[in-house]
Amino acid sequence: MSDHPLSLRGKTLADAVLKGVRRDLAAWDFQPHLVSVLASADEASRVYVESKSGRARRLGVRFSVRDLGAGATQEGLHAVLQALSHDPDVHGVVLELPLAPGLDADAALLCLAPQKDVEGLTPANLALIAAGREPEALLPPTPRSVRFLLRQALGDDLRGRRAAVIGPGRTVGRPLTFMLNNKGMTVTLCNEHTRDLAGVLAGVDAVVVAVGRAGLLRADQVGPEHVVIDAGINVQAGGEVVGDAEPHLPVRAQTPVPGGVGPLTSALMYQNLVRAVKLQRGEPVE
């Protein structure tokens, strides 16, 4: 059992990604335009929007917000997303989740043009991922961050490795399952109700947790053979941000929260914006 597991921090990788983003932005004679759409009173979403705004400003990306508030209607949300999808002055759109109660995110995402979907959540992008056609898609940033960090811990070749993904959500667990499988990993998709989680995790190389429940993954469920990637975000009563896993687990490597997945996720979202611009302009995409 390791007393000092490797701490997998995303900042170094994020810095490398942002260097490439800045290089691409400098080659263009216009500012890409990213629009964030809010349709709820969720305070966490507003914090994330402020963070995106600051990063956009530092990168030289034009950023604006369409705030429909908690009183947004399904029809109004659809109209906004359709208008942004057809606006040639808009290059990327983020639909901030969760939506207000009563609004259908799946129906709304159908109204967003896949080539402007910088969060990679539209059915068209997810279908490409599931079909193993990742180069044609805009990939969800958080699952991409997880895969980058797994490669940092396990090596570039993930073929034959085994992973357990805890949390079958739209933004992380479901797309990540396909994305890891696309790299040759064998993946078990679990949820917060999975029985005998320790037994399920026995024999896997990597554990990814993304449920949104603090302390879900405990020290008695993992061992020194595991790499733990924590994509959970939970705000405690005192304002402290923690993940879904207990900190300082007795494992081979673990991402801290904050400072692990988050910085890289933000950088990859802006890399997606660059890819989106190239797709819309018919330029070659790496």
Q: For 24-44, how does the pLDDT look when each residue is reduced to its tens digit (9 = 90+)?
A: 999 999 999 999 999 999 887
Q: Which H or E run contains 33? A: strand 33-38
188 in Cβ contact with 165 (< 8 Å)? yes
81 in Cβ contact with 108 (< 8 Å)? yes
Select the CATH number that applies to the domain covering 141-263 from these four: 3.40.50.10280, 3.40.50.720, 1.10.8.10, 3.20.20.370. 3.40.50.720
Distance CA 95, CA 55 (A): 17
- The whole-number pLDDT of residue 234 equals 87
pLDDT in tens, 50-73: 889 999 999 999 999 999 999 999
Q: How many CB atoms lie within 10 A of CB 82?
A: 14
Please give the DSSP secondary-structure letter assigned to residue 66: E
Q: Does domain 32-113 have CATH number 3.40.50.10860?
A: yes
Low-confidence ranges of the chain (pLDDT < 70): 1-3
Q: Where are the CATH 3.40.50.720 domain residues in the chain?
A: 141-263
- The whole-number pLDDT of residue 105 equals 96
Detail the DSSP E strand segments found in 68-135.
92-95
193 in Cβ contact with 218 (< 8 Å)? no
User: Which DSSP string do the residues of 21-67 spell out, in sequence order?
Assistant: HHHHHHT-SS--EEEEEE-S--HHHHHHHHHHHHHHHHHT-EEEEEE
Q: Where are the CATH 3.40.50.10860 domain residues in the chain?
A: 32-113
211 in Cβ contact with 167 (< 8 Å)? yes
- The whole-number pLDDT of residue 246 equals 97
- The whole-number pLDDT of residue 63 equals 98
